[in-house]
Amino acid sequence: MIMDKEIKAYIFDLDGVLVFTDELHYLAWKKIADKLNIEFDRKINNRLRGVSRMDSLEIILEKSAKRYSEEQKKALAEEKNEYYRESLETMTPDDVVGKVREKLTELRNAGCKLAIGSSSKNTKLILNKIGMTDFFDAISDGTNITKSKPDPEVFLKAAEMLGIDPQYCAVVEDAESGIDAAKAAGMYAIGIGEAANYHKTDRPISSIMEI
Ligand code: B16
Ligand code: MG
């Protein structure tokens, strides 16, 4: 496995790593679950981290006795996304976790490339809201992948965009599905939050500043 000093690129997950949009995802899904009378709490929500919108809905519907048609599911996912995007409206550069900008600048000054690897189709909107689009050399997100985490596609695409071999890339993730994706891509996996306690994580951290 590579050592920290051999890392040539850092690929950051977005929701739950750079911004606390994971809570906004939860609140938007909670509205849908409450409306459908389906049990849904933060523990179940942890299974949605890094998982695509439609796959997230399937996990929520596991607790429902009722069957939903593909059309109904599409409408529910769209409704959730409307609630979610509404909550993103109030986002500002102040919503970025701690001293993320300083850390990214430090990594860049050390010669590392920086990328985003997120399952979210709202990635560019969020980066725009927090004024961080220009921090990254590549943005791989829900709009350029066919399979979401734990599939490695999103991270392999990021490495390809950067022109860096996957073995020299480190991924920073808050989701178990994201750590699985990083390992499947042959990358070094740094876990924060929920992912810090996951056995497949190469290096657990409690703050981005520890990178
Ligand atoms: P959207 P990440 C993921 O983003 C979220 O963790 C996950 O909860 C969400 O369902 C997924 O994006 C899709 O998001 O509905 O905005 O396309 O953690 O990979 O940055
Ligand atoms: Mg995440």
Q: What is the pTM of this model?
A: 0.93
Which ligand is closest in space to the CA of residue 50? 1
- The residue from 36, 61, 88 where one domain ends is 88
Separation of alpha carbons 120 and 33, rounded Å: 20
Of 49, 66, 88, the position where a domain reaches its end is 88
Which residues does residue 173 pair with via DSSP β-bridges, in sequence order?
A: 191
Tens-digit pLDDT profile for residues 50-67: 999 999 999 999 999 999
Mean pLDDT over all residues of the chain?
95
CATH of the domain at 47: 1.10.150.240
- 74 and 106 together in one domain: no
Q: How many domains does the chain have?
A: 2
Taking each helix axis from N to C terminus, what angle separates 53-61 and 21-35, rounded to the nearest 10 degrees? Answer: 40
What is the percent of the chain where pLDDT is above 70?
A: 98
Report the distance separating Cα 168 and Cα 111, nearest Å.
Answer: 13
Residues with CB under 6 A from ligand 1: 13-16, 22, 25, 48-53, 56, 81, 118-122, 142, 175
DSSP state of 200: T
Q: Is 15 a catalytic residue?
A: yes
For the chain, the residue count is 211
Quote the ligand 2 centre to 196 CA distance (angstroms). Answer: 12
Buried/exposed 91-102: b ≥16 CB within 10 Å, e otherwise: beeebbbeebbe
Which residue has the least CA distance to atom 13 on ligand 1? 120
Q: What angle do CA 82, 133, 54 make, to 5 degrees?
A: 35
Contact 186, 168 (CB under 8 A): no
48 CA closest ligand 1 atom index: 8
Q: What does 100-160 look like in DSSP terms, one character per residue?
A: HHHHHHHHHHTT-EEEEE-S-TTHHHHHHHTT-GGG-SEEE-TTS-SS-TTSTHHHHHHHH
pLDDT score at 97: 85
Lowest-confidence range among 20-29, 70-79, 94-103, 150-159? 94-103
Is 151 catalytic? The answer is no
Q: In the predicted model, what is the mean pLDDT of residues 34-56? A: 95
pLDDT one-digit tens code per residue, 121-173: 999 999 999 999 999 999 999 999 999 899 999 999 999 999 999 999 999 99
Mean pLDDT confidence for 175-190: 97
Residue 145 contacts residue 153 (beta carbons within 8 Å): yes
Q: Which domain holds residue 171?
A: 4-19+95-210
Amino acid at residue number 117: G
Q: Which ligand is nearest to the CA of 26?
A: 1
- Domain final residue pick, 61, 88, 115: 88
